[in-house]
Amino acid sequence: MMKRNNDIRAAAKANGVYLYEIAEKIGVSEPTLIRYLRKEVSGSMKAKALEAIEEIKREHESEQSAEN
């Protein structure tokens, strides 16, 4: 079975972002996000998720910088 929304999943994995973080950022629960990802999401939802990943990535980087 092929997973849908591989671009979102791959971007999250490549940037060290968890699905629960994306869900929080876009204002849904983690189970809801996972349900959304079962079927191909709309262009606007895909854009929101990818933007959330970028924001979270920047937050992680700034946290890393603050620790060092």
Tokens 């895909």, located at residue:
46
Phi, psi of 7 (to 5 degrees): -65, -40
pLDDT at 67: 82
Over its length of 68 residues, how does the chain's per-residue pLDDT go in tens digits?
668 999 999 999 999 999 999 999 999 999 999 999 999 999 999 999 999 999 999 999 999 888 87
d(CA 62, CA 43) in angstroms, rounded, equals 29
pLDDT at 1: 62
Which of 65, 46, 49 lies closest to 15 in space, CA to CA? 49
Label residue 9 left, alpha or beta by phi (over 0 means left) and psi (-120 to 50 means alpha): alpha
Question: What is the pTM assigned to this prediction?
Answer: 0.89
